[in-house]
């Protein structure tokens, strides 16, 4: 009955989205007079929704280490669109994402409602404004997750970390935490490097259809035990990449 698997998974994902987004909308209205309580509600919904979607897509997450404290700045290597679900199930944070996602049907609306910070990567003049958004989120007690490689890839290594979005952390002396992600598929399934990892330039639709046909996906998050801090953003980026690379296992 393998032909039925993707249909069941998509139905479960749709049902989970309707349920958790409906709860979020109801709570948002009820908690309008209490912004802090509404923010906690949003983060709680986000974690449960991401966990429900991981379950719907048969993604089992192995957690190594301890997630960073609340309102932390976290960087990670970037392998797939699944990274957001896997990390979102375990950290209370907003994600920095490419601006195109804001215009995707349905997904864009959901991303906006859950505090996503959108960046036009090709416009360097947008970077100062993005750093201001990051500072505002941290001031509100919202953690921020960034993927400083800039795009997802096949998981052969950890690519260079771009220092642009680390300017705020360097200038203000903020601690930056790091996580290392990895994926495996079930024995007999196609490799995770092609069917879970996603190169940003590849068509999303065919890749997603192939992913939901997999029998199962094992995701691994290792949260590094100590944060990095440095007044030079380029040196900070180098140190963070080196720390992630030390724990990275190439995806096959």
The residue ranges of every structural domain in the chain are 60-247
The pLDDT score that the predictor gives to residue 88 is 96
Residue with more model confidence, 234 or 35: 234
How would residue 171 be classed by pLDDT, with cut points 50, 70 and 90? Answer: very high
Q: At residue 89, what are phi and psi to the nearest 5 degrees?
A: -75, -10
Residues 75-91: pLDDT tens digits? 999 999 999 999 999 99
Phi first, then psi: what are they for 142, rounded to 5°? -100, 120
pTM for the structure as a whole? 0.94
Given a cut of 90, whether residue 249 has pLDDT beyond it is yes
Sign of CA dihedral 247, 249, 250, 251: negative
Which tops the pLDDT comparison, 112 or 86? Answer: 86
Structure tokens at 108: 């864009």
Residue 6 pLDDT exceeds 90: yes
Instruction: Name beta bridge partners: 76.
Output: 179
Mean pLDDT, the chain, integer: 93
Report whether pLDDT(202) > 90: no
Pick the more confident residue, 100 or 95.
Answer: 95
Residues facing 96 on adjacent strands: 117
Percent of the chain's residues with pLDDT above 90: 81
Confidence band, pLDDT 50/70/90 cuts, at residue 106: confident
pLDDT of residue 122: 61
> Cβ atoms within 10 A of the Cβ of 34, count?
11
Which distant-in-sequence residues (6+ apart) come within 8 Å of 225 by Cβ? 65, 66
Q: For 127-143, how does the pLDDT look when each residue is reduced to its tens digit (9 = 90+)?
A: 888 999 999 999 989 99
d(CA 177, CA 224): 7
Q: Would the pLDDT of 107 be above 90? A: no
- Which residues on neighbouring strands pair with residue 74, listed in sequence order? 145, 177
93-98 and 59-64 strand pairing? unpaired
CB 252 within 8 Å of CB 159: no
Describe the strand order of the beta sheet including 117-119 as a list of residue ranges.
59-64, 217-223, 176-185, 73-76, 143-146, 93-98, 117-119
Q: What is the three-class DSSP state of 222?
A: strand
| CA-based nearest residue to 219, from 76, 50, 82 | 82
Within 10 angstroms of residue 219's Cβ, the number of other Cβ atoms is 24
DSSP code, position 125: G
3-state helix, strand, coil in the chain (%, to 5): 50, 15, 35
Residue 121: pLDDT over 70 = no
Query: Rounded to an integer, what distance in angstroms lies between the CA atom of residue 48 and that of residue 45?
Result: 5
**Rounded to an integer, what distance in angstroms lies between the CA atom of residue 167 and that of residue 169?**
6
């Amino acid at each position: 009955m393998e032909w039925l698997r993707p249909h069941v998974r998509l139905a479960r994902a749709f049902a989970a989205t309707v349920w958790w987004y409906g709860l979020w909308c109801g709570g948002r209205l009820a908690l309008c007079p209490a912004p802090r309580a509404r923010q906690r509600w949003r983060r709680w919904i986000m974690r449960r929704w991401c966990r429900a979607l991981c379950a719907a897509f048969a993604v089992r997450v192995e957690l190594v280490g301890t997630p960073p404290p609340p309102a932390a700045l976290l960087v990670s290597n970037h392998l797939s669109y699944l990274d957001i679900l896997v990390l979102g199930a375990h950290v209370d944070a907003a994600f920095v994402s490419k601006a195109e996602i804001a215009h995707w049907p349905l997904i864009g609306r959901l991303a906006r409602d859950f505090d996503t910070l959108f960046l036009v990567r090709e416009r360097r003049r947008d970077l100062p404004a993005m750093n201001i958004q990051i500072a505002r989120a941290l001031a509100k007690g919202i953690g921020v997750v960034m993927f400083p490689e800039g795009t997802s890839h096949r998981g052969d290594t950890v690519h260079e970390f771009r220092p642009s979005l680390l300017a705020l952390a360097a200038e203000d002396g903020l601690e930056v935490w790091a996580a290392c992600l990895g994926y495996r598929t079930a024995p007999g399934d196609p490799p995770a490097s092609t069917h879970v990892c996603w190169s940003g330039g590849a068509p999303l639709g065919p890749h997603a259809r192939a992913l939901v046909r997999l029998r199962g996906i094992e995701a691994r998050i290792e949260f590094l035990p100590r944060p990095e801090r440095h007044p030079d953003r380029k040196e900070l980026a180098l140190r963070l990449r080196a720390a992630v690379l030390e724990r990275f296992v190439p995806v096959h």
